[in-house]
Amino acid sequence: MKIAIATILIGTAAAFAPSPEARAPTSLNMDRRAAAGQIATGAAVLAGLPQLALADGARSAATVSRAKGIYGQRIANLESAVNSGDFGAVAAEKNAFILFNSGALGKDQKPAAVKQTNDIFAAIRAKDASALKSAYGAYKSSTGIELVKVDDVMSGQGYSNDYDFKTRTPAG
């Protein structure tokens, strides 16, 4: 976008430039102070333009579905690690819990899920396997996480777009 704006500014300046016959010789007849002033003015103009392409953190059905598909599956795959008491495997997926909570859950569900996530990691720090099992089970049931079995990666409308969770994941 900035390149397009710069191109428009250069094109506009070229349209109002004097004809080649009226131009001064190509020698440098501008002092450093004037050049610095023009550069600073141009930079101020470009900096003052609105930033048109900013990430706004919008939540859509596609982003929620992708978060549930990617991070929910990573959390669901921890079932065997939780049952065997493998604290390291669960701790290694800490980011999956964080990203699932922020991307897949609504504002009303998020506080409870964060508390349950904290309970899971408190059980890991305490090395309490039974507390880990119960906290993990409560988290899964309250957030609706379940392991999705993909029979055919070509099925579904979203297979060929970047927002489908099967794209660039083990499910695909």
pLDDT (tens digit, 9 = 90+) per residue, 131-166?
A: 999 999 999 999 988 876 665 555 555 555 565 665
The pLDDT score that the predictor gives to residue 42 is 75
Residue ranges of domains in the chain? 2-48, 61-160
Query: What 3-state class would DSSP assign to 126?
Result: helix
Give residues with Cβ within 8 angstroms of 5, minimum separation 6. 46, 49
- Give the CA distances from residue 7 to residues 12, 13, 54, 67, 124, in Å, rounded to whole numbers and listed in that order: 8, 10, 21, 38, 56
The pLDDT score that the predictor gives to residue 130 is 93
For residues 104 and 84, what is the distance between their CA atoms, to the nearest angstrom?
27
pLDDT (tens digit, 9 = 90+) per residue, 17-54?
A: 566 565 555 555 667 777 777 887 877 766 766 655 55
The pLDDT score that the predictor gives to residue 137 is 94
Query: What is the pLDDT confidence band of residue 95, given thresholds at 50, 70 and 90?
Result: very high
The pLDDT score that the predictor gives to residue 125 is 94
**Whats the size of the chain, residue-wise?**
172
Could you tell me the pTM of the whole model?
0.59
pLDDT tops 80 at residue 168? no
Which helix (H) or strand (E) segment is 16 a member of? none
The pLDDT score that the predictor gives to residue 18 is 62
Is CATH 3.40.50.720 correct for 61-160?
Answer: no
